[in-house]
Amino acid sequence: MKASWLQRTVAWIVRLMSFRRKFQRKVTLVMVGLDNAGKTATVRGIQGENPQDVAPTVGFSKVDLKQGKFEVTIFDLGGGKRIRGIWKNYYSESHGVVFVVDSSDVQRIQETRETMTEVLQHPRIAGKPVLVLANKQDQEGALAEADIIENLSLEKLVNENKCLCQIEPCSAVLGCGKKLDKSIKKGLNWLLSNIAKDYEAIAERVQKDTAEQRALEEQDKKERAERVRRIREERDRLEREEAE
């Protein structure tokens, strides 16, 4: 019995969707670094928006964009000390990391190294590809690439945590869209290319880690609700005793 026109059409659509899934992959990146490193300016430049006069990110911002065959989501995470604690909440769903360094802020290079170490050592980040953007190369006194590698102990750090790594000296504020700093374009292409090479394994890891994190969050939510219930019961008991 020959397949009907509808059956053939459905089969063709299914094949097309499978083909698109194969060649249009969804990738999530976390962009981290100290406050004032230039993370938001970098994201805006990638989007084609003016990277000048950017306000500090409070919490996080989410950006969705098309980059070649990739559908990319970037979580631009605030870099203030009080905010860095939320970074780990986004590690499980990330396929790769963009760590932005302020090359001109020599006084905070030790803090940058300590922060980067914490990020790359996290079990949900270790082993994933990392792009380091040595930003603000247009500033006077900015550290050169070799100096940043040395000050961050970058080679030792990525080897210990089995992370593929690329460092790109750049200036996020000097261009956007088609005029975006070529080093940022090169770095982003490198990151997406290396994610693509191991996409199935990374995606499987992301799915597993995300499921585990959601389960932990649900358990934590239940435990908080139980603590609140017990506190209320104890309060009601004390009020009853006082009334008696």
Q: pLDDT tens digits for 160-172?
A: 999 999 999 999 9
Specify the range with the lowest mean pLDDT, choosing from 33-37, 87-91, 126-130, 234-238.
Answer: 234-238
Report whether 52 contacts 15 (CB < 8 A): no
Give the per-residue pLDDT at 1. 45
Annotated binding residues for Mg(2+), written as ranges, equal 40, 57
With a cut of 90, say whether residue 242 has pLDDT above it.
no
With a cut of 80, say whether residue 11 has pLDDT above it.
no
Question: pLDDT tens digits for 118-134?
Answer: 999 999 999 999 999 99
Q: Cα separation of 29 and 103, whole Å?
A: 22
Question: pLDDT tens digits for 65-122?
Answer: 988 889 999 999 999 999 999 999 999 999 999 999 999 999 999 999 999 999 999 9
Exposure letters 113-129 (e unless 16+ CB within 10 A, then b) = bebbbebbebebbbbbb
Q: Provide the pLDDT confidence category of residue 215 given band limits of 50, 70 and 90.
A: confident
Q: Provide the pLDDT confidence category of residue 223 given band limits of 50, 70 and 90.
A: confident
Angle at CA of residue 48, ends 46 and 54, nearest 5°: 80
With a cut of 50, say whether residue 13 has pLDDT above it.
yes
Angle at CA of residue 23, ends 17 and 24, nearest 5°: 80
Chain-wide mean pLDDT for the chain? 87
With a cut of 80, say whether residue 18 has pLDDT above it.
no
Going by CATH, does the domain composed of 13-197 fall within 3.40.50.300? yes
**What does the pLDDT average to over 140-154?**
96
Q: Provide the pLDDT confidence category of residue 6 given band limits of 50, 70 and 90.
A: low
**What does the pLDDT average to over 140-163?**
96
Annotated binding residues, written as ranges, equal 33-40, 57, 79, 135-138
With a cut of 60, say whether residue 20 has pLDDT above it.
no
Annotated binding residues for GTP, written as ranges, equal 33-40, 79, 135-138
Q: Provide the pLDDT confidence category of residue 24 given band limits of 50, 70 and 90.
A: low
Q: Cα separation of 30 and 87, whole Å?
A: 8
Query: Rounded to a whole number, what is the distance in angstroms from the first to the last CA of the chain?
Result: 84
CA dihedral 115, 202, 23, 47 (to 10 degrees): -10
Q: Provide the pLDDT confidence category of residue 12 given band limits of 50, 70 and 90.
A: low
